[in-house]
Structure 1
Amino acid sequence: MDMKTLDQPRYSAIPTVLLEADKPTGEQPMELFITDEHTEHYLALQAGGDSDRGQFTGLGGWIGLGGLGMAFLLMINGKWESVPMGLIMSAAFFLVPFFWETLRPLPLPILFNRRTREVYFNHEGVLLHAPWDGITAVANEYQLVGTHIGGMQSTSLEIRMWQFETPEIALMVSLGPPFGKSLAMQKGFWEYIRSYMNNGPYFDEQGNHSESDAFVKSQLAVQPNMSGWFKDTFNDIKKRRMESDGKNYLGGSDVVMLVLTFLFYPWFRIQELTYSLAKRRSRNLWPKVVTERLKANGPITRLVDLEHEQGVGVSKAS
């Protein structure tokens, strides 16, 4: 497929915009809630859902903590005969979902490697890759209409990638779900990726290189962080206290929110830790040619260069 012509029927009925690696989109960089990791050497984008992995462990751990509290009360009251069963039940509520959720591999992300300037993706166990230099993303804007949602503006954003050592097999890989995203939003997201690869790892509001990670942190901070809900609520109350000048600043809803976020904090925190552990375990699923290139001192040869050395046919994007 020649992405410069885009003469396929798939793209003939809807407006198509080509976004290139070396050309600005005119939009400011914008992260769209799917960045899993933003490091000095690679950018990882969630590619297969499961971002809520760990919720069952969080719920089980939350119930288990309650069970530990009950066991403690039984010990204080001298009812030792019921304590062992309470401890076993508390441990089971946490350990059963913990092992189930951490031992199952997470879908591997789409990786943008700054060191080697290439992109990796694992599709059903098959390694796909594409050189960054010269890459083109395809953005398609369309209207999604339904009886329950009305009209929803959506825009897909895809790049073409090739199977490693079999470049005649290619796939269009979506950079996140298109639903509810405008063309301007997808351009901003492409600008975020472009700024990272060309000017990163850190950059400012205009996409220019920056020694400070302040702008990147401000973008990533918008992502939902349930364990930070309690901290945000507490800081908001604390701020209003400083601004109240002795006046009554605390309402009933503030008390309820503070208590609820405090009570649910263990659940959310356990969920996030479980997801983090499952993610680290899943990294072992990447082939060695990828994992060694993600290291700070790893090789900088691209996979397409390895294909050249092996005499494998090379894709047009190389």
Structure 2
Amino acid sequence: MELFIVDEHTEHYLALQAGGDSDRGLLTGVLGGAGGCASVGLTLMLAMQGIFDPIMLTLGICLFLVPFLWETLRPLPLPILFNRRTREVYFDHDGELFHTPWDGISAVANEFQLAGAQIGSMQSASLEIRVCKFKQPEKALMISLGAPFGKSLALQKSFWEYIRAYMNNGPYFDEHGNHSESDSFVKSQLAVRFKMSDSFKHTLAHIKQAKKEAGGKNYLGSSDVAKLILEPMLYPLDRIKEFTYSIAKHRSRNLWPSVVTERLKANGPTTRLVDLE
């Protein structure tokens, strides 16, 4: 099972999200998608009436461009990388490279509960691996493969099996973890992650199914009507947010040291970092 943590699943490496900034692009989406589109739209309406307002157009462009540059130029936290070609794991900790060979690796899973007056009791489980600093193997870290909150031990074990299936049987595998030439099962796992820009499409599919089940009776509820009105209005915001995040993620890839980036290439070296040490 893929627990919405996998950022990239390729033939050569698996990237897991690490750190925060999952809301990167939201500011650009709000200002550029709402304010920017409104300003540009108003400018076009005035232009159709023979009135051109450069200030309004400039404002619309700035509402998108300024937050877009601010959010894309700031680096995202680098992911945890599982490299199939060299069979090792890479992790960046405050600009320092940590790694561990995959062969012989062990994962530690711990289950616990959080209890509080406001939240009640929440089941949680952590999943961690041990990595060592490059060229200083005496310095080690335990890194968490995703946040533990709200997860059970069974879910974390399931996610570890997903990683094991990728490294040992991958890059693609079936629902039993066995090697597969088809990527259909992997794509079905990755597709579970919800994208806000797809919400209107899901709403239409839900309404279509409700119409079919109603058999001609009134099948539209008040919430359906609200979604049909609001979701198309929020679509530009969501698409701009996702686009901004993808650009920021692409730029952050260049922050890896060359010993990592060259090993992520299809024709790169296959020696492990532990071999270089």
Q: Structure 2 counterpart of 1:54, which letter?
A: G
- Other-structure match for 2:39: 67
How far apart in 2 are the matches of 1:184 and 1:103?
39
- Other-structure match for 1:261: 231
1:132 alignment partner, one of 82, 98, 102: 102
SS of aligned partner of 1:227: helix
- Other-structure match for 1:288: 258
2:10 alignment partner, one of 26, 39, 45: 39
Q: Structure 1 counterpart of 2:5, which letter?
A: I
1:144 alignment partner, one of 114, 120, 139: 114
- Other-structure match for 2:138: 168
Shift of 1:243: 5.7
How far apart in 2 are the matches of 1:244 and 1:199?
46
- Other-structure match for 1:52: 23
How far apart in 1 are the matches of 2:152 and 2:265?
35
How far apart in 2 are the matches of 1:76 and 1:252?
36
How far apart in 1 are the matches of 2:207 and 2:119?
36
Range that drifts further, 200-209 or 212-221:
212-221
How far apart in 2 are the matches of 1:156 and 1:124?
22
SS of aligned partner of 2:156: helix
How far apart in 1 are the matches of 2:203 and 2:11?
31
- Other-structure match for 1:215: 185
Shift of 1:246: 4.8
2:93 alignment partner, one of 123, 127, 135: 123
Shift of 1:44: 0.5
Range that drifts further, 277-286 or 140-149:
140-149
SS of aligned partner of 1:148: coil
Q: Structure 2 counterpart of 1:254, which letter?
A: D
1:199 alignment partner, one of 169, 185, 189: 169
Range that drifts further, 70-79 or 278-287:
70-79
Shift of 1:240: 4.2
Q: String of CA shifts for 1:229-250, please: whole Å, max 9, x gaps.
A: 1122223334445566555444
Shift of 1:136: 0.1
1:297 alignment partner, one of 232, 254, 267: 267
Shift of 1:287: 0.3
Q: Structure 2 counterpart of 1:178, which letter?
A: P
- Other-structure match for 2:196: 226
How far apart in 2 are the matches of 1:286 and 1:132?
19
Shift of 1:161: 0.3
Q: Structure 2 counterpart of 1:209, which letter?
A: H
RMSD (CA atoms): 1.5
How far apart in 2 are the matches of 1:32 and 1:252?
33
Q: Structure 1 counterpart of 2:161, which letter?
A: E
Q: Rate the CA distance shift 1:292–1:145 in 2: closer, same or farther, 3 A.
A: same
- Other-structure match for 1:104: 74
Q: String of CA shifts for 1:269-298, please: whole Å, max 9, x gaps.
A: 110010000001000100001001111111
- Segments of 5+ residues of structure 2 without an aligned counterpart are none
1:79 alignment partner, one of 51, 56, 62: 51
- Other-structure match for 2:156: 186
Q: Structure 2 counterpart of 1:65, which letter?
A: C
Q: Structure 2 counterpart of 1:48, which letter?
A: G
How far apart in 2 are the matches of 1:276 and 1:159?
27
Q: Structure 2 counterpart of 1:37, which letter?
A: E
